[in-house]
Amino acid sequence: MKFGRKPSASGRLAALASKIEKVVKEDAERIRRMEETAAQRRRAAAELHVLCAGLVADLNALLSKPLVELSPAEFAAGNFREDASNVFQINISGRIVHLEFHSTGALGSTDKFPKPYILEGAIRAFNQEMLELSLVPEQQLFCCPESGKLNWLWVDPRTQRAAPLDRERLTAILERLV
């Protein structure tokens, strides 16, 4: 219990007004961060699709007829689903590279990877023989914003090796399937 004088009614109102302004400012900042993170997630998904589409287009250009398919064939940032899984799939005659990712529960996370990430998921690569053996290797997938860039990283959960998910990595995954 405090002793002393009670603040005046006008003093209490001034303190309340100050708290309200502070809360409104904090709410506006939280909304700004949420919108910024949502925009980053949409951009990251679109960039990942561009990476996959570029590889598929270049492979098909080298083939006598297009045999490599990307699903979905088209993807715009607006197609990103914030509250569900997003899936890109590269298919070469039943040999599949399956990239699945979704938003983290909060604006960002470090629960499964030491770097802060805004999207998480997995890369699975398999063919019919691997399915028959119930052997579908999986690598973790994270999108980590850093210095204005959105970096897609893959992590091998067995070895904890992490590296950028780039054209070279996707090519290596496809090479193992054929």
User: Which residue is associated with the tokens 């979905």?
Assistant: 72
Nearest CA-CA partner of 75 in 108, 42, 41, 105? 42
For residue range 9-38, what is the model confidence (pLDDT) as tens digits? 888 898 999 999 999 999 899 999 999 999
Nearest CA-CA partner of 76 in 110, 107, 48? 48
Enter the pTM of the model.
0.86
Check whether 102 has a pLDDT greater than 90.
yes
Q: What is the pLDDT of residue 120?
A: 98
Q: What is the pLDDT of residue 2?
A: 59
The reply to whether omega before 114 is within 30° of 0 (cis) is no
Residue 135 DSSP class? -
Report percent pLDDT > 70 for the chain: 98
User: With left for phi above 0 and alpha for psi between -120 and 50, is residue 171 left, alpha or beta?
Assistant: alpha
Average pLDDT over every residue of 141-155 = 95
Check whether 69 has a pLDDT greater than 90.
yes
Q: What is the pLDDT of residue 134?
A: 79
Q: What is the pLDDT of residue 146?
A: 92
Q: Rounded to an integer, what distance in angstroms lies between the CA atom of residue 60 and that of residue 62?
A: 5
What is the chain's mean pLDDT, rounded? 92
Q: What is the pLDDT of residue 72?
A: 98
Average pLDDT over every residue of 56-67 = 95
The model's confidence at residue 8, banded by pLDDT at 50, 70 and 90, is confident
Q: What is the pLDDT of residue 61?
A: 96
Termini Cα distance of the chain: 77
Q: Rounded to an integer, what distance in angstroms lies between the CA atom of residue 64 and that of residue 67?
A: 9
Q: Rounded to an integer, what distance in angstroms lies between the CA atom of residue 61 and that of residue 80?
A: 28
Check whether 95 has a pLDDT greater than 60.
yes
Q: For residue 61, what are its two tokens?
A: 């250009």
The model's confidence at residue 3, banded by pLDDT at 50, 70 and 90, is low
Nearest CA-CA partner of 52 in 140, 173, 156, 136? 173
